[in-house]
């Protein structure tokens, strides 16, 4: 009778150890699976942040300079440069947005000073920036991040659409 109790307790111990092992393996797989999902989600959020930030930044800059003659695209060193012009106390100032050495950069200077790409402020890490004028009131931009994800968007100028004058006000004023 004593031998029967002993075998029953060994079976109980083995069952408990096996059950504990199964539980630990299940917990490990859940943690590993959750870490993989978290890593993918964090990466996707980073890509989304970079593309949306670049899109919003360029769009806002264009809209800030939305007046006749305020937005133009020039070519410097074989690459497009977005040239945004404004007048302060009858002095012309130009803000340039461009890609240089893996960054979207911005430089503001007096209108008579040539663009020096290395002098610009780094805004966002990207690998490519293209700008193209579709017509007088529509521009197409493409920004490629450092991982090769491409964001293409269009920005419309209201000054051409609704007839604003040189200073950005309404033509009827």
Distances (CA, A) of 131 to 73, 75, 92, 113, 153: 7, 10, 22, 22, 10
Does this model's pTM top 0.85? My answer is: no
Q: Are strands 91-100 and 79-88 parallel, antiparallel or unpaired?
A: antiparallel
Alpha-carbon distance of 21 to 67, in angstroms, equals: 70
- pLDDT tens across the length of the chain (173 residues): 455 556 668 888 899 999 999 999 999 999 999 999 999 999 888 888 888 888 999 999 999 999 888 999 999 999 999 999 999 898 999 999 999 999 999 999 998 888 889 999 999 999 999 999 999 889 999 999 888 889 999 999 987 655 554 444 443 33
Number of Cβ within a 10 Å radius of residue 4: 8
């Amino acid at each position: 009778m004593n031998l029967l109790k002993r075998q029953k307790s060994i079976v109980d111990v083995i069952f408990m150890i096996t059950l504990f092992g199964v539980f630990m393996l299940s917990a490990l797989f859940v943690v590993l699976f959750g870490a993989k999902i978290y890593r993918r989600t964090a990466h996707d959020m980073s890509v989304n942040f970079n593309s949306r930030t670049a899109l919003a930044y360029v769009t806002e800059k264009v809209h800030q300079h939305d007046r006749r003659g305020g937005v133009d695209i020039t070519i410097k060193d074989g690459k497009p440069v977005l040239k945004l012009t404004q007048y302060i106390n009858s002095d012309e100032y130009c803000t340039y947005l461009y890609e240089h050495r893996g960054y979207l950069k911005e430089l503001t200077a007096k209108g008579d000073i040539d663009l020096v790409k290395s002098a610009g402020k780094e805004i966002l890490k990207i690998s490519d920036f293209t700008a193209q004028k579709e017509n007088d009131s529509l521009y197409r931009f493409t920004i490629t991040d450092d991982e090769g994800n491409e964001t293409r968007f269009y920005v419309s100028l209201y000054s051409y659409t609704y007839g604003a004058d040189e200073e950005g006000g309404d033509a009827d004023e």
